[in-house]
Amino acid sequence: MEAGDSFPWSGFALAVSTTVVLALAGVDPLLAFLALVVWTGSLWLVRPTPRELIARPQETPFSREGMAEMIEHSGSPLLLTERNRVIIANRSARNILGKHIIGQDVRVALRHPEAVSLVDRKTAGEAIITGLVRPKDIWRLSRYQMENELAVLELVSKTAEVDISRAHTDFVANASHELRTPLASIIGYVETLSEAPENLDSSTAKKFLDTIHREARRLQALVSDLMSLSRIEAEKHERPQSRVDLRQLVERASRDVSISSERDGRLELDLAGEYPIAGDEQQVEQLVRNLVDNAFKYGGAESPVTVRLSTAANGDTKLEVIDRGPGISAEHLPHLTRRFYRTDPGRSLASGGTGLGLAIVKHIVQRHRGRLDIASEAGVGTTITVRIPRWNETEMAAIGRPLPEPDDKVA
């Protein structure tokens, strides 16, 4: 581009026209000429340089550096492509696809038939792709077409949503099976008693009635646990804010569970000290009852069960329930808190277990911002440890709980 091409000729023409008008209006010609010279000089000083004129046609509607900075911290993986080649990938995209994707063909980076088909169509659209990071990962890929053969690709993980849906389906199937079993037993025995009661002797009838009663109690316990689990899950995001004296609660709940002829004298309590927590008293009592009841059921028939309260190294309140039973194999430990999971189904059903006790405990601990640990050794026994943060008045006030009124009677 020549230097002359950059001179603002339209502005110069306006200056000349104005000078002529001033001269015709009777202004001193010398003054009019000086005005023309000054105006022309100012136009020359502010004219764009050739370099600026060269840069203008190359400017795009956005700055790539600015866009890269803008999307860098987005939680969703985002890619900007030009002619299907990745020119920008934010941190989330680099974390799942690798840093090497910059400059790579996006179809090679994604390596999935549905993704390739979407990119090749060169139009806006969506596709579901699986196995992007792990074999069972599920992602929704969205493509937004822009000008100059630019496109934005967004990845949204659907794995958690699918897992939740699958878990709900499994839960309904398992719950239906667990409910069907005692119902079928109850119906079968009732039908037998109703068909020919005169042919049954008293001992047989009593046996049938005892079975019906036992299965009805099992059904009642199962429905109760299902309702408890549903309530706890509905409240899991609401942190409890009531002050609970854990020592008194643990002592009361443990003694209630141990009151029976076969459990008499087997309970050992180690509860020295005071342990206030922020909790839901009903749920914490249910947690203690479930753990102590399991320890009696699955521990040694004559061995003691120890319930201990202490302070953990980080200041949390630590509850330990220890039995001296046969222990649990290591392969079962990661699955114990799953719904309806049983290490020994026959023994669990015989003892009246629903398979939901530890699942309920896990959700109660999570709601109380605590931690659940299970340790077991074959032939030695099992220790279940629950850690719950101690009561903190300042923290409770900060999350919206009003501070208690001062007691005027205390000096």
In whole angstroms, give the CA distance from residue 201 to residue 193.
Answer: 11
Domain 64-157: CATH class, spelled out: alpha beta
- pLDDT at position 73: 85
Q: Which amino acid, residue 193?
A: L
The vertex-286 CA angle with 216 and 182, nearest 5°, equals: 15
Give the CATH number of domain 243-396; options: 3.90.950.10, 3.40.50.300, 3.30.565.10, 3.30.365.10. 3.30.565.10
The topology (CATH level 3) of 163-234 is Helix Hairpins (1.10.287)
pLDDT tens, residue by residue, 379-404: 889 999 999 999 887 766 666 555 44
**Sheet of strand 381-388: strand arrangement:** 267-270, 305-311, 317-323, 381-388, 371-377
Give the SS3 label for residue 315: coil
Assess whether pLDDT exceeds 80 at residue 268.
Answer: yes
Q: What count of residues does the chain have?
A: 411
Backbone angles phi, psi at 79, to 5 degrees: -130, 140
User: 3-class SS at 321?
Assistant: strand
Task: Give the C-alpha separation, 278 to 242, whole Å.
Answer: 5
Same fold, 64-157 and 163-234: no
Q: Which residues pair with 308 in a beta bridge?
A: 270, 320
Q: How many CA atoms lie within 13 A of 289 on its CB side?
A: 14
Tell me the per-residue pLDDT of 18-31, one tens digit each, with 9 for 90 and over: 677 667 767 677 77
pLDDT at 55 over 60: no
Of the two residues 330 and 35, the one the predictor is more confident about is 330
**Looking at residue 115, what is its pLDDT?**
87
How many percent of the chain have pLDDT more than 70? 78
Residue 246, token pair as written in the block? 């854990």
pLDDT at 280 over 70: yes
Q: Kindly list the domain boundaries of the chain, sorted by start residue.
A: 3-57, 64-157, 163-234, 243-396
